[in-house]
């Protein structure tokens, strides 16, 4: 709840992606996922922040149930990770997406993150997924900028949201519509300034801001990004809890590292 409030009140983000990797979604049970969706919606009510609910799971029954659940809660957009682990073929993946949106009127953004799922979608794969008009875009967490350029060129009307915070500037150069990222939880101000500089044509400033963000992101990654984001939140007075097993609990070294990051970048 406090993290959602911080993102609305302090970060003033345009939107929140609820139930993503950083939300440790793939370690949660269905009831817990539902509770997270309820809490985010509850806090967001009355603000004009956009919410996207990530409902995807290799358990298609669960994904469909969650899609229905969040639609009834009032979410306008859902997202689903590509189904992972079983090396599903593309027909199976296409069926998965068509099924998730079939019984809801919510629009869907594909969550593509090949490094963690092992599922790499081709340009033609995207074209087939996008034939379904309820599938309106992709959260693109991928360092393949050739594919990103081809996607933007071929689908000018689809929503492309960049997912690697450390590559925001090259993604902006390829005309993405926005970005979703873990580090925006604590680094929203700088990321928004970078986008504004890019849009104003001040590439030197945008690049400088990306350098500064990447110093922070590198330190976060080296200290364990999920635990450290939570620990920095704690330093900011936001009760963010701790990472769930099987992720390791923060050791004294990790805690000291997070404190150093807080002091270096946020004081
Ligand atoms: O998709 C996030 N991906 C993961 C969003 O956490 C797997 C990113 O925001 C990264 O955490 C971030 C650092 O690599 O770019």
CA-based torsion, 252, 254, 257, 259: positive or negative = negative
Give residue ranges with CB within 6 A of ligand 1.
21-22, 116, 141, 163-166, 181-183, 217, 221, 225
69: CA distance to ligand 1 center in Å?
Answer: 26
Find the length of the chain. Answer: 267
CB of 148 closer than 8 Å to CB of 179: no
Nearest to 101 by CA among 123, 130, 73, 144: 130
When pLDDT is cut at 50, 70 and 90, the band that residue 226 belongs to is very high
Question: What are the tens digits of pLDDT across the range 6-27?
Answer: 999 999 999 999 999 999 999 9
Question: Which 3 state secondary structure label does DSSP give 178?
Answer: strand
Rounded distance between C-alpha atoms, residue 265 and residue 251, angstroms: 21
| Ligand 1, atom 11: closest residue by C-alpha | 182
Tens-digit pLDDT profile for residues 28-74: 999 999 999 999 999 999 999 999 999 999 999 999 999 999 999 99
pLDDT tens track for 136-189: 999 999 999 999 999 999 999 999 999 999 999 999 999 999 999 999 999 999
Q: Please tell me the residue having the least CA distance from ligand 1 atom 14.
A: 164
Q: Which of 111, 140, 226, 262 is catalytic?
A: 111
46 C-beta neighbours (distance < 10 Å), count: 8
Q: Which of 117, 163, 228 to mutate to test the pocket of ligand 1 (most atoms within 8 A of CB)?
A: 163
Query: Which residue(s) pair with 77 in the sheet?
Result: 52, 107
Helices (H), the chain: 2-9, 30-44, 60-73, 90-102, 114-117, 123-130, 145-154, 168-173, 184-199, 203-223, 225-235, 252-266
Catalytic residue among 139, 226, 230, 262: 139
pLDDT in the model for residue 207:
98
In whole angstroms, what is the distance from residue 247 CA to residue 148 CA? 31
Q: How far is the CA of 164 from the centre of ligand 1 (A)?
A: 5
Element (H, E) at 245: none
CB atoms within 10 A of CB 210: 23
Note the pLDDT of residue 42: 98
139 a catalytic residue: yes
Query: Tell me, what's the pLDDT at 73?
Result: 98
pLDDT tier at 215, thresholds 50, 70, 90: very high
Closest CA to 113 of 51, 177, 182, 62: 182
Residue 205 is encoded by which pair of tokens?
């400033």
Which of 161, 181, 221 has most ligand 1 atoms within 8 Å of its beta carbon, as the pocket-test mutant? 181
* 135-140 β-sheet, strand order: 15-18, 50-54, 77-81, 107-112, 135-140, 159-162, 178-179
pLDDT grade for 192, boundaries at 50, 70 and 90: very high
Mean pLDDT on 193-220: 98
- Tell me what pLDDT residue 71 has: 98
Query: How far away, in angstroms, is 221 Cα from ligand 1 center?
Result: 10
> Measured in angstroms, how far is the CA atom of residue 225 from the centroid of ligand 1?
9
């Amino acid at each position: 709840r406090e993290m959602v409030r911080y993102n609305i009140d302090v970060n003033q983000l345009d939107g929140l992606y609820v139930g993503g990797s950083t939300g440790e979604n793939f370690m949660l049970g269905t009831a817990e996922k539902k509770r997270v969706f309820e809490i985010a919606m509850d806090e967001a009510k009355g603000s004009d922040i956009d919410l996207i609910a990530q409902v995807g799971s290799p358990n298609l029954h669960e994904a469909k149930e969650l899609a229905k659940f969040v639609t009834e809660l009032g979410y306008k957009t859902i997202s689903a990770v590509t189904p992972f682990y079983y090396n599903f073929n593309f027909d199976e993946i296409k069926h998965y997406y068509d099924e998730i949106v079939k019984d809801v009127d919510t629009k869907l953004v594909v969550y593509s993150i090949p490094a963690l799922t092992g599922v790499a979608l081709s340009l033609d794969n995207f074209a087939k997924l996008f034939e379904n008009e309820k599938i309106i875009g992709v959260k693109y967490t991928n360092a393949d900028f050739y594919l990103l350029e081809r996607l933007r060129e071929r689908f000018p009307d689809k929503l492309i949201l960049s997912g690697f915070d450390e590559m925001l500037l090259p993604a902006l150069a390829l005309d993405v519509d926005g970005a979703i990222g873990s580090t925006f939880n604590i680094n929203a101000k700088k990321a928004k300034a970078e986008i504004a500089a890019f849009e104003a044509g001040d590439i030197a400033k945008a690049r400088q801001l990306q350098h500064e963000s990447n110093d922070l992101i590198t330190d976060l990654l080296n200290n364990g990004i999920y635990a450290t984001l939570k620990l920095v939140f704690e330093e900011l007075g936001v009760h963010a809890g701790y990472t769930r097993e099987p992720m390791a609990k923060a050791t004294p070294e990790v805690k000291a590292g997070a404190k150093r990051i807080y002091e270096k970048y946020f004081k």
